[in-house]
Structure 1
Amino acid sequence: MSGELFPRERADPAPGAVLLPDWLSAAEQRELVDTCRAWARPPAGMRTTVLPTGGVMSVRTVCLGWHWYPYGYARTVVDGDGEPVKPFPDELRTLARRALADAYGEGLGDVAGAPGYEPDVALVNHYPHGARMGLHRDREERIDAPVVSLSLGDTALFRLGNTETRTRPWTDLELRSGDLLVFGGPSRFAYHGVVRTLPGTADPALGLVGRLNITVRQSGLD
């Protein structure tokens, strides 16, 4: 954020987890927001997810490559319009690989699934004002390759927990527009979620109300 006394610096909140503030340039953020709008259009567009318990998630989601539903993957929007999922874009694959290289540097080869990273699925979540995400683990994948998370729009309070339980210990991180968060290695299956977003903190130039989160993964599916 401009006007700060001290620049925000890289953080390593847990083994295998890396936060790179302001990783995306302003131009890259604007381009991604426009691209997300195209992905969100039907068919196989953005939809609201209903959990097996009957609860309704407060975020709205569009999937690329594979369609995520509670709790698995499919090639069609099985809990929506039934249309084939949109393809996984090459530009996201390139961006995710660059993210791992920047996050892990010379230690890339020491992180499970990072060398030869082949992401093939992305979840684009829109958080309107008041939306949140409960603590959960990304465990529908059949491989332990890292997760790449990009933030756009309003600032979020992100909670990174442990791999055993939804209770403490956890670390709360402020994720702003343009921030990159990668979690792999020992943190790959850590519980995590969004406690809240801070309405009105997005750059008006983005033309975005709320927050977008792009989560890129390697499914390990055929």
Structure 2
Amino acid sequence: MDLFAEQAAAHIPLAEGAVWLPGFALPYMPALWPCLQQHLSAHPAQQMMTPMGHPMSVKTSSMGHWGWVSSPQGYGYSAHDPVRQQPWPAIPAVIMALAAAAAEKAGYPTFTPDSCLINLYAPGSKMGLHQDKDETDFSQPIVSVSIGLPATFLFGGAQRSDKAVRIPLQHGDVVVWGGESRRYYHGVAAIKPNQHPLVGNRRINLTLRKAK
């Protein structure tokens, strides 16, 4: 199957339980983008350190009851912004609506996320192959929203050694995975320099999960 022959397709299967929804987030963008700008102004993305003490390639912020954090003890979730020692702000209604609609389109009709991780990629930033396994509820899918510069999303399998499919994500694309593929390895290849008319020289990714 040629995954990329029909970029305009509304629903492209990637694996059992995983789909790519090209352009799905575009109708939400006029309301979503101002909310995201406001959030990043109040809660700027920070360059966290890995548990081994290395700076992460991307900068992160969070919304929702649980924010994703990294510490010397490992990765996990915290109800408070570690920089400001304040609770993370609620996920805006437009992002909740987008996540629920995308999940339903992918076959998960009851998704209600309690965490929205915001990753900011500058040119050259990347994300190595990894599993999302810091959550306590694996019955719920993951919804990933691409904003800004294009990215090559790497979607592998249950083992790190499984060959990854390379998916050319564009602004407004959404990827949803759950069920059998919920803990499949995935990552992002290095972002190439460019300019996006809305976001500038960066890519922003929203990852919505049910953490607890």
Scaled to the shorter chain, the TM-score interval is: 0.7 to 0.9
| Structure 1 equivalent of residue 69 of structure 2 | 69
SS in 2 for 1:52: coil
Size of the aligned set, in residue pairs, is 201
TM-score under structure 2 length normalisation: 0.87
> What are the residue-to-residue correspondences of 1:1-222 with 2, within 5 Å?
7-9=7-9, 10-25=11-26, 28-42=28-42, 44-65=43-64, 66-70=66-70, 71-78=75-82, 80-104=83-107, 114-144=108-138, 145-164=140-159, 166-200=160-194, 202=196, 204=197, 206-219=198-211, 221=212
Partners of 2:124 and 2:47 in 1: how far apart?
Answer: 15
Distance 1:13 1:82, change over 3 A: same
- Aligned-CA RMSD value: 1.9
Shift of 1:88: 2.5
Shift of 1:7: 4.7
Partners of 1:41 and 1:210 in 2: how far apart?
Answer: 16
Determine if contact 1:160/1:191 at 8 Å carries over to the other structure. yes
SS in 1 for 2:125: coil
**Runs of 4 or more above 6 Å deviation:** none
Determine if contact 1:163/1:190 at 8 Å carries over to the other structure. yes
Shift of 1:31: 3.6
Shift of 1:64: 0.8
Partners of 2:199 and 2:175 in 1: how far apart?
Answer: 23
What code does the residue aligned with 1:214 have?
L
Distance 1:102 1:50, change over 3 A: same
Determine if contact 1:119/1:217 at 8 Å carries over to the other structure. yes
Determine if contact 2:32/2:95 at 8 Å carries over to the other structure. no
Determine if contact 2:147/2:199 at 8 Å carries over to the other structure. no
SS in 1 for 2:58: strand
SS in 2 for 1:38: helix
Determine if contact 1:60/1:127 at 8 Å carries over to the other structure. yes
SS in 2 for 1:28: helix
Gapped regions of structure 1 (runs ≥ 5): 105-113
Partners of 1:197 and 1:8 in 2: how far apart?
Answer: 23
SS in 1 for 2:94: helix
Partners of 2:179 and 2:13 in 1: how far apart?
Answer: 13
Determine if contact 1:155/1:201 at 8 Å carries over to the other structure. no
TM-score under structure 1 length normalisation: 0.83
Gapped regions of structure 2 (runs ≥ 5): none
Partners of 1:29 and 1:212 in 2: how far apart?
Answer: 13
1:33-70 per-position Cα deviation (integer Å, ceiling 9, x unaligned): 3322211123x432111111111112111111112113
